[in-house]
Amino acid sequence: MKKLSLLLLLSVFVFCSCGDDDDAKNEVVVSFENMLTEPESEFKTTEGEEDGYYMKCYFKDPLQVIEMSHFYSLNGENTSFGGGFTYTNKTDKMTPGYENISAITAKGKNGKVYLTSNSNSYTPARITNLNPDKYEFKGAWVTNTTYAYLAIKDGNDDSGSVKGAFESGDWFKLTAVGYQANGAEIGRVDFYLADFRDGKSKIVNTWEWFDWSYIEDADHIEFEMSSTDNNDYGMATPSYFCLDGITLIED
């Protein structure tokens, strides 16, 4: 009986120890906070290769944990953001139009610098896990750009393509789609950046957590956007959003 009791006690100890190890998994939170030296600036480059209407390249975070797509147009020595991702510290919460890539929060979740994305079929936004054997995706903080927010709230868009302010039943959705390295889809998760269904009238204007645990094993994530505001050319709502604090956890 004493031997049996000792064996049971040892089993309980081993089980608890394993649980503690799982809880102690390390997280990596991606930050571009020290990558910009000037206020009201953004990441720009003249590297890359021609891809349709834009030049295309990729950039990595300072720890080289992830890689992100970046599209831009080139006019002489001047470049302008086209899509994919860029990082910025812009703070304009008032000006409508695509030239304003500021978050509606005017700052990041954890600092001044955050990511802005324009994701569509011409400029797909992709995040690749550079260490899939070591880390898996956990999630990120997300909010609206000023551009999308004002188009949804007031119908204020310099392109003139939006139908007007959102009404009952309207919505604007961001979808994170996880893929294996061979391109096979493993799953998708949705986040509503604006939701006027079922009596709601919410337009996201703070940083909110976007959980990617359902697609944690993805080699890369691509982002799709959809809305109830569409025309003959596709979605009329600006296909822009912001991310900060992209988090990966030990596999």
For the chain, domain boundaries? 26-250
Mean pLDDT of 87-105: 97
Give the count of beta carbons closer than 10 Å to the beta carbon of residue 44.
12
Query: In 3D, which of 145, 85, 158 has the Cα closest to residue 119?
Result: 85
At 198, the amino acid letter reads D
pLDDT tens for 27-49 read 999 999 999 999 999 999 999 99
| pLDDT at residue 77, as a whole number | 74
The residues with which 80 forms a beta bridge, in sequence order, are 73
Q: Residue 7 pLDDT > 60, yes or no?
A: no
| pLDDT at residue 23, as a whole number | 57
* pLDDT confidence band for 123 (50 / 70 / 90): very high
* pLDDT confidence band for 136 (50 / 70 / 90): very high
* Cβ-contact 225, 173 below 8 angstroms: yes
* pLDDT confidence band for 11 (50 / 70 / 90): very low
Mean pLDDT of 62-69: 97
Query: 134 vs 158, 180, 244, CA distance in Å?
Result: 45, 15, 21
Q: What is the mean pLDDT of the chain?
A: 90
How many angstroms separate the CA atoms of 68 and 84, rounded? 7
* pLDDT confidence band for 236 (50 / 70 / 90): very high
Mean pLDDT of 87-93: 98
pLDDT tens for 167-212 read 999 999 999 999 999 999 999 999 999 999 999 999 999 999 999 9
128: enclosing H helix or E strand? strand 125-129
Do β-strands 234-235 and 78-88 pair in parallel, antiparallel, or remain unpaired? unpaired
2: enclosing H helix or E strand? helix 2-23
Please state the length of the chain: 251
How many angstroms separate the CA atoms of 213 and 136, rounded? 9
The residues with which 224 forms a beta bridge, in sequence order, are 175
CATH of domain 26-250: 2.60.120.1350
* Cβ-contact 127, 221 below 8 angstroms: yes
DSSP structural state of residue 119: -
**Token digits for 174?**
């961001």
How many angstroms separate the CA atoms of 50 and 82, rounded? 12
* SS3 of residue 6 by DSSP: helix
